[in-house]
Amino acid sequence: MAKITLILGGARSGKSVYALSLAKTCKKVAFIATCEAKDKEMQERIRVHRKVRPETWKTFEEPRDLVPILNKMGSGFECIVVDCLTLLVSNLILGGYKEQEILRKARAILDNLKKKKARVILVSNEVGLGLVPANRLGRDFRDTAGKVNQLLAREADEAFFIVCGIPLRLK
C-alpha cells in the first residue's frame, strides 16, 4: 500500500519545493502536472517548474482526468507526485463539473493511489484562509477545493502545512 503525504499551503509558500525535496530521495519518480498553459505567464511558470525537476523523472501532464494516467503507469515508480490538486479542481470547475462530480473524481484518484506500492506526494493549496470570494464561481471553487483537501487529509498517512517555506506537521 502507498504511503500518502499531503502538502498544503498558500500561494508561493514553498509547497512544490518541499514536495520535490521529499521525492528526490527516490530513484524512479512520476510527476503528474495538472496545470494548463493558457497564457505566456503560465507558460513561463511551467518552464521554470520543469527546469527544477530532475531529467530522470517521468512527467505526465493531465489537467482533468488522472485515473487513466495512474492506470497506465502501473507499479514501476517508487514515488508519484501530483502537483497540484487545486489546479485540477479549478480545471474541472471551469470545465462545467459540479462539486459532487469533482469529489467523486478525487475519491477515484485517491482509491487508485492507495493501491500503488509507491510513495505518493499530493500538493494542494489551502484556499480557505482568505476573504470570502465576491462571486459565485470563486465561492464554489473555494468550497470544493476545501472539501477535496479534507478528503485527502483524512486519508493521508501524513500531512504538512507549509508557511514561508517551513513545513509544519499536521498529521
Count other Cβ atoms within 10 Å, centred on residue 32. Answer: 22
Low-confidence ranges of the chain (pLDDT < 70): none
> Which tens digits make up the pLDDT trace of 20-64?
999 999 999 999 999 888 888 888 887 888 888 888 999 999 999
What pLDDT, on a 0 to 100 scale, did the predictor assign at position 1?
79
Q: In what order do the strands lie in the sheet with 166-169?
A: 58-61, 29-33, 79-83, 119-125, 3-9, 158-163, 166-169
Catalytic residue among 49, 50, 142, 147: 49
Q: Which structural domain, as residue segments, surrounds residue 73?
A: 3-169
Strand-pairing partners, residue 8, are 124, 161
DSSP H or E run through 167: strand 166-169
Does 161 qualify as catalytic in the annotation? no
Q: How many domains does the chain have?
A: 1
- Residues 6 or more apart in contact with residue 144 via CB below 8 angstroms: 89, 93, 99, 102, 103
Taking a C-beta distance cutoff of 8 angstroms, is the pair 44, 83 a contact? no
pTM check: above 0.85: yes
- CATH (domain of 41): 3.40.50.300
